[in-house]
């Protein structure tokens, strides 16, 4: 994997896809870059440490630009600093459960529900269905894995 650092715009909201070692499967999360190398991760996780149940987690990080597991960061919005706390509070309210729209709970399903809710409430402005954003993200992340690279893109399907 190319170990070069990636550049993230301050106040940018990104979809992150990280390598979990399975073809066409990734860990999905949202990341709010508060500075170029510091921000907050919003995602759901599961494993032995959570009793194998999906749980919402938010944490500050200064590692995202250096993460070798990160395959793709898609900028989907610019969030005004006065809205950072409100965004964090809103994401904490997104249910961690099976979705009538998207299926059994997973990090990907939670993220898709979060995108729908953020779009409906005006935090972000998507120009395409969430399913199209998902499909494009999977294709780009899989291509990056094959080419052993990491990229940051601005989604043409949002008004970032």
The percent of residues above 70 in pLDDT, for the chain, comes to 98
For the stretch 25-45, pLDDT in tens is 999 999 999 998 899 999 999
Least confident of 45-59, 72-86, 100-114: 45-59
For the stretch 43-55, pLDDT in tens is 999 988 888 899 9
Q: Rounded CA gap, 117 and 100, in Å?
A: 14
What pLDDT is attached to residue 157? 79
What pLDDT is attached to residue 36? 87
Q: Rounded CA gap, 12 and 77, in Å?
A: 6
pTM of the predicted protein model: 0.94
Asked if pLDDT for residue 1 goes beyond 80, the answer is no
Q: Where are the domains of the chain?
A: 12-154
Nearest by Cα to 101 from 85, 112, 88, 93: 112
The token pair that represents 158 in the structure block: 């949002």
**Apex CA 107: angle with CA 104 and CA 112, to 5°?**
80
């Amino acid at each position: 994997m190319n170990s070069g650092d990636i550049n993230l715009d301050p106040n940018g909201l990104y979809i992150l896809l990280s390598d979990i070692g399975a073809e066409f499967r990734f860990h999905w999360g949202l990341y709010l870059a508060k500075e170029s190398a510091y921000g907050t991760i919003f995602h759901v996780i599961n494993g032995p440490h959570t009793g194998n149940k999906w749980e919402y987690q938010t944490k500050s990080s200064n590692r995202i630009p250096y993460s070798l597991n990160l395959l793709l960061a898609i900028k989907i919005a610019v969030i005004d600093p006065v809205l950072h706390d409100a965004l964090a509070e809103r994401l904490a309210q997104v249910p961690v459960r099976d979705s009538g729209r998207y299926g059994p709970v997973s990090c990907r399903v939670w993220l898709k529900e979060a995108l729908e809710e953020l779009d409906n409430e005006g935090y972000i402005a998507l120009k395409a269905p969430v399913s199209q954003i998902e499909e494009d993200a999977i294709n780009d992340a899989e291509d990056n894995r094959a080419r052993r690279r990491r990229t940051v893109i601005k989604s043409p399907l949002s008004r970032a």
